[in-house]
Amino acid sequence: LAMVRQLRQAHEHREFELHFQPIFDLARGRVVALEALLRWRQSDGSFVPPAQFIPLCEESGLIVPIGTWVLEESARLHSRLAAAGHGDVAIAVNVSAVQFEAGMSADAIRRLFERHKLPAHALHLELTESVLLRHPEDARSLMGALREAGLCLSIDDFGTGFSSMAYLRELPLDHLKIDRGFVRDVTRDSRSAAICRAMIALGHGLGLSIIAEGVEEAGQLEWLRAHGCDQAQGYHLGRPMAIDALLASMTLQA
Ligand code: G
Ligand code: G
Ligand code: MN
Ligand code: NA
């Protein structure tokens, strides 16, 4: 496929970059994490969105070396954050199922933390439900080992896949991310509100902190804060940005 060849070249020629979206703690009103989002830069300066190339990276296996690069780059940027006085801000990295199964090991993560002198919890992994369901026993033992190596683990897009209460009970997790589809109508639709309330209660009952995605309106933010949601991200709070722009905005806030 021509597109796969282009993607391999893009990786070799370092045409991928990471943008970062802030995640806010709602009680303290400050940035506690940045979600790293892969972007493919074109020669005219525009970006191809991930929805258009990540599925192909997964099918071709290219997501494994690209994902390794994303982790390395995130670790490097965490050191920059620390140097700018924001070492307590974590970087959250998306990991797809193929990459989790073929490209992740606790040893590699331990070496990454050592190489970059990262403090524990400097990096979060965002896993989707598909990661957990294909080989639940393997997933559970790898997650335990990764967590011991210093990572925090989140379930991404919670509620959109084949959610199972069994895996929530069994798996070592730190955060649950409420999918933006439930947040969108939370102030207008009693069913969305019921689901968000239930997810917050469920997560808290299991000792997890809850992150709401896709907050686009002040009213959604107020609802989430009033209902005990811990953290939030979305266009209302901050768009994904290149690291230099983001560091400048964080410095202005401080
Ligand atoms: O940035 P955007 O909303 O267009 O991202 C679309 C999708 O691409 C999201 O589901 C996100 O999780 C995924 N994605 C973004 N960056 C990465 C990455 O570095 N690795 C993987 N595996 N998925 C990513
Ligand atoms: O699947 P995942 O949750 O990783 O997807 C993250 C994607 O959501 C990113 O590509 C980001 O661009 C997008 N995103 C972030 N905030 C918002 C928002 O407020 N509204 C919408 N529609 N998308 C958002
Ligand atoms: Mn995510
Ligand atoms: Na999500």
CATH number of the domain where residue 20 is located: 3.20.20.450
Contact by Cβ (8 Å): 41, 55:
no
pLDDT for 254 equals: 47
Residue 154 makes CB contacts below 8 A (sequence gap 6+) with 92, 124, 125, 126, 127, 173, 174, 175, 176, 177, 211
Rounded to whole angstroms, what are the CA distances from 191 to 21, 33, 115, 172?
28, 29, 47, 29
pLDDT for 167 equals: 82
The three-state (H, E, C) secondary structure of 179-207, written as one string: CHHHHCCCCCCHHHHHHHHHHHHHHHHCC
Contact by Cβ (8 Å): 178, 205:
no
235 within ligand 2 shell (Cβ under 6 A) = yes
Residues in the chain where the model's pLDDT stays below 50: 254
**Distance from C-alpha of 28 to C-alpha of 42, rounded to nearest angstrom:** 38
- For the CA of 19, the closest atom of ligand 1 is 1
Q: How confident is the model over 139-188, as pLDDT tens digits?
A: 999 999 999 999 999 999 998 887 778 888 889 999 999 999 999 999 99
Contact by Cβ (8 Å): 39, 53:
no
> What is the average pLDDT score of the chain?
94
Which pTM was predicted?
Answer: 0.96
Q: Got the DSSP string for 107-161?
A: HHHHHHHHHTTPPTTSEEEEE-HHHHHHSHHHHHHHHHHHHHTT-EEEEEEETSS
Total domains present in the chain: 1
What's the 126 CA to ligand 3 centre distance in angstroms? 6
Task: Report the pocket of ligand 1 as residue ranges, CB < 6 Å.
Answer: 37-38, 49-51, 54, 63, 67, 70, 94-96, 99
Domain that residue 6 falls in: 2-253
